[in-house]
């Protein structure tokens, strides 16, 4: 295959890929367009029982007609005690109320009526544009996990689009879904417990310091005991006698020496090392 033929084949492949990619992108936009044109509410979730400002985003999906009327139905099975509408330049606002079979009691008092419908008319949403419509709900109802706001959109050519369908479990998203607001339960925040910062030198350092102090005290006690033993007097035990604490013979074991009359022979044992005494000559008798 020549270089020219190879270049031609490559260029043709690239053109086919570009055409296929363009067709796929167009198909994706075609199928995604209805989803982007839905009427939505922002925020899409809020805490039940709280006050919230809700903004409804309404686009114009017609190519040659203007949106001239927006009719929004407010849920009445779980009514909102106070619903206020924010003015929109160029639009006229009409509010419809219903009488409640059971009054709503809030911190602001008791309410026997609730808003059931808000109608914006007289203005225009041109093709390729959108308009935001804002209301204030105070408070949002309790005892329900979701509120559905159904919207009817009227065009200048007489077309009417009803954004009123509710999603069903296990089913695809409806073509004209209602604007859904998810209600959540308020979370209780645990109180913050103040924790004491660790003191420098605590932990392992404190344990080591305590052991060192204990060892030092033990050494001082041992030294004091040794010095005390050194200062005690050494007892002197005499021959043939047991010593008491002062070096004298114990009275319980002292030898008892009986005194004998003069001239009697001594029968007691002499102390060791004593010189023997010579017997004295008896006196001579005079003749």
- Summarised one tens digit per residue, pLDDT across range 245-267 is 444 444 444 444 444 454 444 44
pLDDT of residue 217: 75
- Torsion sign, CA atoms 262, 268, 270, 275: positive
β-bridge mates for residue 118, sequence order: 72, 95
pLDDT of residue 187: 73
Q: Rounded distance, CA 187 to CA 116, Å?
A: 30
117 confidence band (pLDDT: 50, 70, 90): very high
CATH number of 31-184: 2.60.40.2230
Element counts in the chain: helices (H) and strands (E): 2, 11
pTM above 0.75, yes or no: no
Mean pLDDT for 269-287 is 55
Half-sphere exposure of 215 (CA within 13 A, CB side): 6
pLDDT of residue 32: 40
pLDDT of residue 189: 60
The answer, yes or no, to whether residue 54 has pLDDT greater than 90, is yes
The answer, yes or no, to whether residue 181 has pLDDT greater than 60, is yes
């Amino acid at each position: 295959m020549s270089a020219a033929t190879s270049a031609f084949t490559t260029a043709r492949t690239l053109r086919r890929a570009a055409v296929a990619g363009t067709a796929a992108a167009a198909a994706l936009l075609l199928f995604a367009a209805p989803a982007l044109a839905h009427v939505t509410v922002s925020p899409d979730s809020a805490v039940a029982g709280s006050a919230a400002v809700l903004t409804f985003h309404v686009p114009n999906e017609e190519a040659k007609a203007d949106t001239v009327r927006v009719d929004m139905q407010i849920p009445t099975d779980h009514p909102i005690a106070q619903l206020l509408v924010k003015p929109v330049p160029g639009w006229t606002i009409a509010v419809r109320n219903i009488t409640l079979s059971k009054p709503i009691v809030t911190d602001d008092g008791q309410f026997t009526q609730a808003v059931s419908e808000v109608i914006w008319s007289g203005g225009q949403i041109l093709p390729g544009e959108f308009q935001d419509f804002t209301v204030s709900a105070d408070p949002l109802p309790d005892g329900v996990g979701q509120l559905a706001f159904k919207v009817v959109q009227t065009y200048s050519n007489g077309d009417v689009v009803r954004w009123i369908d509710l999603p069903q479990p296990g089913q695809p998203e409806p073509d004209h879904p209602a604007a859904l607001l998810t209600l959540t339960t308020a979370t209780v925040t645990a109180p913050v417990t103040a924790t004491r910062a660790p003191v420098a030198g605590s932990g392992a350092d404190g344990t080591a310091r305590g052991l060192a102090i204990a060892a030092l005290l033990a050494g001082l006690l041992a030294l004091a005991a040794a010095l005390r033993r050194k200062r005690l007097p050494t007892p002197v035990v005499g021959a043939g006698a047991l010593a008491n604490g002062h070096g004298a013979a114990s009275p319980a074991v002292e030898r008892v020496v009986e005194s004998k009359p003069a001239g009697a022979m001594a029968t007691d044992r002499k102390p060791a090392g004593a010189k023997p005494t010579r017997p004295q000559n008896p006196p001579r008798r005079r003749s």
